[in-house]
């Protein structure tokens, strides 16, 4: 790299760093402000008593400026308070929040608490209280039929929600370089599905339109809009060998789970599901690693839903995957958000990440990662049509990731897919997608 290019890169990175506002009672926390995926963590071995950290708070905040092909231009803020103690990484407790809305009236606000080794037990407790609302969610029906990108093929939904989950570390396996942590997890999620929007009054009656938008495909398929509470319980097991939770360079993280909802859980809908997700990370060996550090990252998801799940539940993944699909910024990038909500969804993603530059900013490390990626997927809408109504989905593109102190990550992904001719998928979001 020439001096001129290196200099301009440093200037660009310093400008990006200006977006990060951080302070601490002791030191800046090096942990993510809420992860795209829920992941496992471990406590480091405590140092001698004289060196034990008595505890300190850290804080990091970032304006959430987003430009998304599915949701428009977004503006908001994300922040997280970290409690550090006993040299535990990435933190002992994190309290994070988000306030965010877009020009297309998509909103998501939440408060999240994540406590690692809660009550000094090998137990991780996670909880979240939030509100989500969208006017732009694509709805193309439950098939591979052609689907124009217009208002007639969108749905409105208002969704207050709450999440509570516990993860018990039951074993440590010594057979891997960084050890292997085995966890059992169980939790509950309650989502209130309200059709329509609190912020739209198309009929001019002075009241919010809490019904499906007239004239849309969703209104024809579901005139009542599928209102009600989805009260979902879930249980599973996870194995984690990654060297660093927010930005792994080696190791794997696998979780398998089942979930269900029905009258016993207080749900208005009765359905079940299962999920298997595997993520694998490996540095490239030999001559290929002579330049910037290169990491191959892969994620495979297999998810199935049975019963009378509403459309929005068919768009969600189970397990420890906090994502929607198929399509959008998390899976099958380049395809419209959750365009293919099949009963069975399979996805495989691969990224080649290059750690190309690091700059010291007032004692903090600001890094730049570039990546290329390919996403493949298949969806099955109904088992009876699987043999005839099945085709692969493909998307690919390039990405830029700005990394602050290793663990605070902001990504920009550009993607194209033959499923969406002439449409560029542009996504900005916190953290690596996996």
Structure tokens at 300: 């495979």
Whole-angstrom distance, CA of residue 33 vs CA of residue 405: 12
Alpha helix stretches (DSSP H) within 279-412: 311-314
Residue 382 confidence (pLDDT): 85
213-236 residue pLDDT tens: 999 999 999 999 999 999 999 999
Residue 14 confidence (pLDDT): 41
Peptide bond into 146 cis (omega under 30): no
Q: Which residues of the chain have pLDDT under 50?
A: 1-36, 38-47, 49
Reported as type and span, the H/E element at residue 124 is strand 123-138
Whole-angstrom distance, CA of residue 46 vs CA of residue 43: 8
**What's the whole-model pTM score?**
0.83
- According to DSSP, the β-strands at 344-361 and 228-240 are unpaired
Residue 288 confidence (pLDDT): 58
Radius of gyration, CA atoms only, the chain:
22
> How many independent structural domains does the chain possess?
1
Residue 256 confidence (pLDDT): 99
What residues form DSSP beta bridges with 74?
Answer: 66, 102
Residue 373 confidence (pLDDT): 99
Q: Please check whether residue 175 is in contact with residue 215, taking contact to mean a CB–CB distance below 8 angstroms.
A: no
Residue 286 confidence (pLDDT): 59
362-411 residue pLDDT tens: 988 999 999 999 999 999 998 877 767 778 899 999 999 999 888 789 89
Q: Please check whether residue 214 is in contact with residue 208, taking contact to mean a CB–CB distance below 8 angstroms.
A: no
Whole-angstrom distance, CA of residue 48 vs CA of residue 400: 41
Find the CATH number of the domain harbouring 310.
2.40.160.50
DSSP E strands, 174-227: 180-195
Whole-angstrom distance, CA of residue 234 vs CA of residue 38: 14
Domain range for 136: 3-430
Residue 46 confidence (pLDDT): 45
Whole-angstrom distance, CA of residue 387 vs CA of residue 196: 35
């Amino acid at each position: 790299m020439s001096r001129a290019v290196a200099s301009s890169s440093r200037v660009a990175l310093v400008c990006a760093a200006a977006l990060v506002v951080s302070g601490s009672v002791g030191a800046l926390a090096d942990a993510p402000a809420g992860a795209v995926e829920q992941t496992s963590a471990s406590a480091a071995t405590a140092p001698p008593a004289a060196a034990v950290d008595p505890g300190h708070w850290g804080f990091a905040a970032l304006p959430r400026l987003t430009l998304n092909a599915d949701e428009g231009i977004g503006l908001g803020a994300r922040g997280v308070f970290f409690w550090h103690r006993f040299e535990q990484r990435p933190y002992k407790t994190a309290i994070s929040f988000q306030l965010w809305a877009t020009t297309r009236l998509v909103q998501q606000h939440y408060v999240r608490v994540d406590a690692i080794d809660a009550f000094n037990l090998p137990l991780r407790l996670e909880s979240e209280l939030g509100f989500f609302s969208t006017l732009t969610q694509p709805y193309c029906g439950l098939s591979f039929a052609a689907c124009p990108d217009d208002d007639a093929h969108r749905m409105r939904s208002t969704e207050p929600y709450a999440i509570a989950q516990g993860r018990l570390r039951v074993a440590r396996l010594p057979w891997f370089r960084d050890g292997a942590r085995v966890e059992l997890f169980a939790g509950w999620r309650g989502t209130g599905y309200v059709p329509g929007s609190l912020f739209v009054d198309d009929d001019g009656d002075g009241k919010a339109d809490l019904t499906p938008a007239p004239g849309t495909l969703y209104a024809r398929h579901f005139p009542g809009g599928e209102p009600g509470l989805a009260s979902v319980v879930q249980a599973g097991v996870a194995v984690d060998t990654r060297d660093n939770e927010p930005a792994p360079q080696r190791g794997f993280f696998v979780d398998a789970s089942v979930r269900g909802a029905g009258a016993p859980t207080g749900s208005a809908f009765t359905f079940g599901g299962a999920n298997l997700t595997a993520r694998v990370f490996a540095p490239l060996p030999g001559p290929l690693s002579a330049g910037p550090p290169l990491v191959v990252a892969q994620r495979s998801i297999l998810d199935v839903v049975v019963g009378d799940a509403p459309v929005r539940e068919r768009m969600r993944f189970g397990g420890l995957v906090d994502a929607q699909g198929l399509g959008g910024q998390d899976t099958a990038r380049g395809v419209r958000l959750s365009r293919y909500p099949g009963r069975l969804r399979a996805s495989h993603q691969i990224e080649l990440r290059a750690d190309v530059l690091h700059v010291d900013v007032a004692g903090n490390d600001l890094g730049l990662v570039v990546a290329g990626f390919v996403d493949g997927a298949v969806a099955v809408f109904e088992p009876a049509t699987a043999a005839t109504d099945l085709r692969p989905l493909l998307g690919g593109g390039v990405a830029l990731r700005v990394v602050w102190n290793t663990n605070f990550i902001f990504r920009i992904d550009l993607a194209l897919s033959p499923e969406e001719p002439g449409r560029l998928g542009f996504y900005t979001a916190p953290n690596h997608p996996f």
